[in-house]
Chain A
């Protein structure tokens, strides 16, 4: 019997968040264990070796690769400027000559009389990684970065676009089932992370962009509006690098879907606090969900353990509160009232493991267990 999935997203009012902040290559760590850091604080820095630019000098000069050494004006290790002549040939008693210039500034790293190439290493490029969340340095990862730990509220979304942004949370909807209203965010929207409700349409997204918002969190977005926002159809579900005016995080799914009440109320209760968000999503081979982290400020070493953590992933049991994540009940909340052991035939004629659930209107329906997502702290609608 296949194991039914009961996936869930974390919604935690007060938990301990640990983030590994690593350089892509080895470098210098700039912080010490136990140190308190702001979200913008640099954690580690490295100098990425410059690109290696290969120039096929022999071809440019019209000579055989083996003749390259005699034509070169530079040696390995020499610095060159962009446009500087690095090799030349003379012919017909020196009357004609052809020259090859360095296309970039750098240092000659390699000369190959086999291929006729000269490789120029460009100047190193500085790389820096910042804390992203304010907190305490819990652990140093030698030569790479550090783990930052903080007490925070944590909300995982289901899908997002855009990368890491930070800003103050502002509520821009009258409730979890109401759409985002640009007027509610007002002039405070600049640099802010706006909490919408059920959805935001194209004009609302444009208004938030014009107002200079850093991010938006909503229940759902119609795919047509997302396409307009990003500028193209997202094909593969790997996001986070889009060139979008602000980071957009959906908590429920595509379409107009009310934000889970617990999520909305938690975010609304944190209005005015600084939040760190990331829209990066990856649904294949290593799930990454977009997230909203709101540090709670108590970051002293040895701070009290979290008061309450609502990790939504858990066992499916009678009495569990669930969200239905497929038609015909997409987005509805329900309570599990039965878990028949044997597979049952559903409308499509497929035989699958099912759960009996009670909807908010009191109706009891059977749904495939695969179409259920666990939620906590929320009554059926």
Chain B
């Protein structure tokens, strides 16, 4: 793992420049030390320049840094490079993440789809990769189909897993034969050898290498599933990080220069975001769910009881991939979130036009509400995919707690428990830049349907990637800016699980300011500002549960935010009525303060 910046150097740094080179945009942030506190000073951005006619990522970095110069009056660019070194001007330190050029695209293989292949998938995703396919002995494909598939894909890297220690050898040799026959070519860099990480049964290492021959650059790491009961993902993740830097990044245009400028190794963007999510979970001992919804992909991160899981839905996003949301959800899936009647042909054309002109922004309220409807579906689908992978190890016999009964069932139980979820963090343009934070809150609530008592936050300007890489060498600066400037507390949502007759009393929330009753099918917002806390008692109706059991009251201390406390008695699972759908959606928007047609009440922020 990376080392913190040496104390001697760290104390002399007062200005930090950090960039995230995205597939479309390069985002730069400037952080300064002010009276022993680190604060965000400004943010600039410019189009990413990995592609022709520039073919050099550093052009976009310099453009984004130039924008910081305009905004701050500082001087960060000189003679075609960045000014690094705190000699009065320039930045004392420069760090960067990258997902430009499609990010890190990996193919993973395993023996059993739900065991070693799934562990390999988790390792790759945790390291910030987009997994473009998962091959396994039992995936239903013939060998020749797998070979064709590998040939048609052009991964940046391959992760091979399979066999517990002392287990199967022959299946790994089969995988070697398939790889050898496919002779996969890397996506970037003509003539360079594709990195293959072997993280399978150590007994099969030598034979695997013999069969693969010189067809790839082979790296051995410890078995990522040494026993059925144990996953050991970190060595594989470390190797992925290392090879990403040494091979993949080195092939991307301009990265040789970028790597010279940075004060720490460049990280894959999702890996850096993951670091910040882990940090948020560890700092408060919380169960956290975080999402980063971009134009092309949606990343979902969760930490439950300290166990980190990251998934990426490579084709769910708000611009490049918006049509794929349509293809996966169907028109009805999107239309059910739109609070007015929609014409299918018109809606299809609008979504397609966003796909081909991805940088446009909604100008009308209808367009805004359509985009927010798409966001709900993209988030919902990405979260469903996340829950499929955020599971305990499969194939493990578990001892049950009740009566110590020994169950013969395989496990693979979901790690995500919405009732035990403490915090949801939303990031990405449609959430970070929603005109009203209430809209971001409602999108997250509708898509994830948190249960019980859950805090909500948004990444103010989408800077978790830059802070994630900074945390590797200057953790205190990254933590401070994350806490003070990055995360905006939106508030707390209280949502009982279950159903009672619509219109009947569902929940009573009482605190020092009195009691609020919310009827079934409604939601209500109670003001509680940023930094404020309140002890409350929540009493659900007999059939409902807020975490203490059906009908049982729960006392808790909750925190406020820019929206406040959202008491959501619409039921879990949330059902959108077919009759009077548009009117109901409009009422929910209005009650949450998220309807752009209804002006904000005086004094609201």
Contacts and interface: CB of A to CB of B under 8 A. Distances in A.
**A-B complex is real:** yes
A326 interface: yes
Interface stretch (B257-265, B323-331, B412-420): B323-331
A352 B361 contact: yes
Interface stretch (A27-35, A89-97, A283-291, A301-309): A283-291
A78 interface: no
A75 interface: no
A347 B364 contact: yes
Contact of B349 (A110, A255, A285): A255
A254 B596 contact: no
Contacts of B433: 350
Interface stretch (A2-10, A164-172, A176-184, A208-216): A2-10
B177 A112 contact: yes
A286 B207 contact: no
A66 B37 CA distance: 68
Interface stretch (B268-276, B350-358, B442-450, B583-591): B350-358
A7 B70 CA distance: 23
A158 B46 CA distance: 22
Contact of A326 (B47, B173, B177, B367): B367
B575 interface: no
B71 interface: yes
A373 B207 contact: no
Nearest to B148: A51
Interface of B: 23, 44-47, 50-52, 63, 67, 70-71, 100-102, 143-144, 147, 170, 173-174, 176-178, 180-183, 207, 210-211, 295-296, 315, 320-321, 323-324, 326-328, 344-346, 348-353, 355-368, 433, 435-436, 596
Nearest to B23: A285
Contacts of B51: 285-287
Interface in A97-133: 110, 112, 114-117, 119
B210 A347 contact: no
A378 interface: no
Contacts of A328: 363-364
B355 A348 contact: no
A379 interface: no
Given A53-B181, A285-B102, A371 B363 contact: yes
A284 B320 contact: yes
Contacts of B345: 222-224
Given A253-B353, A326-B362, A326-B367, A349 B596 contact: yes
A158 B170 contact: no
Interface in A210-259: 222-224, 226, 233-237, 253-255
Nearest to B100: A285
Contacts of B101: 285-286
Contacts of B328: 235
Given A3-B67, A283-B355, A346-B363, A224 B344 contact: yes
Contacts of A236: 315, 320-321, 323-324
A326 B363 contact: yes
A54 B368 contact: no
Contacts of B321: 235-236
Contacts of A346: 363
A24 to B, nearest CB: 9
A52 interface: yes
Interface in A304-324: none
Contacts of B63: 3
Nearest to B348: A223
B183 A52 contact: yes
A291 B355 CA distance: 18
A327 B366 CA distance: 9
Contacts of B359: 5, 7, 370
B363 A347 contact: yes
B221 to A, nearest CB: 21
Contacts of B365: 347-348
Given A53-B181, A222-B349, A284-B296, A3 B47 contact: yes
Given A119-B180, A284-B23, A350 B67 contact: no
Interface in A30-88: 51-54, 56, 65
Contacts of B435: 348-350
A262 interface: no
Interface in A141-177: 158-159
A54 B357 contact: no
A26 to B, nearest CB: 10
18 contacts: A1-B67, A52-B180, A52-B183, A56-B177, A114-B207, A117-B174, A117-B211, A158-B357, A224-B348, A237-B320, A237-B356, A254-B349, A254-B356, A284-B296, A327-B367, A346-B363, A348-B362, A371-B360
B41 to A, nearest CB: 14
A325 interface: yes
A3 B102 CA distance: 22
A110 B50 CA distance: 40
A284 to B, nearest CB: 4
Contacts of A255: 346, 349, 353
